[in-house]
Amino acid sequence: MVLCSMRKSFKDSLKVLEADIQHANTLASDFSRDYDGACLQMRMSYSPAAQFFLFLVQWTDCSLAGALGLLRILIYKVYVDGTTTLSTHERKASIREFYAVIFPSLMQLHKGISDVDDRRQKQSVLRDTEEEMRMRARGMFLRLMSRERKSAGFAWR
């Protein structure tokens, strides 16, 4: 009975991992390249020895299988027409790399688009405000110099 619940834990952790990969794919699809429309996609992959070893580690969660190198994430390009670079230019990431680097980076990129736009807009407003303040200060300085010239009784050249 305990063994069944532990097996369920492994299956549940695999489902969570697959759901996170699918969510990462959704986020990554928003960032296609301009010149060819390609975007990055990911999928879970098992090592060749996984068939044997997964039977032995099925009572744990998928982190042990990932640590043993039995599970990994394949990262590849998908073009607009649906063709992929799966066999030629794929990259492999461990589950740890996926959760430590890839997934948080995609989340940040997704949130960061609006943050970057907001930051640019604020910088633009600050730049305009600074320029306006410089112009006002310059105008005030020129008016003061003009008053001093008039009060001194001679013209500055």
**Which structural domain, as residue segments, surrounds residue 18?**
2-116
Inside any domain, residue 137: no
Inside any domain, residue 148: no
Tens digits of residue pLDDT in 7-20: 457 778 888 888 99
Inside any domain, residue 149: no
Residue 56: pLDDT band (50, 70, 90) is low
Count of the separate structural domains present in the chain? 1
> What average pLDDT does this structure show over 149-157?
59
Inside any domain, residue 154: no
Of 43-57, 63-77, 96-110, which range is least confident? 43-57
Inside any domain, residue 153: no
> What average pLDDT does this structure show over 28-51?
78
Inside any domain, residue 125: no
Inside any domain, residue 6: yes
Check pLDDT > 70 for residue 77.
Answer: yes
Q: What is the DSSP code string of the chain?
A: -HHHHHHHHHHHHHHHHHHHHHHHHHHHTT---TTT--EEEEEEEE-TTHHHHHHHHTTS-HHHHHHTTSEEEEEEEE-TTS-B-TTTS-EEE-HHHIIIIIHHHHHHHHHHHHHHHHHHHHHHHHHHHHHHHHHHHHHHHHHHHHHHHHHHTS---
Inside any domain, residue 49: yes
Residue 2: pLDDT band (50, 70, 90) is very low
Check pLDDT > 70 for residue 58.
Answer: no
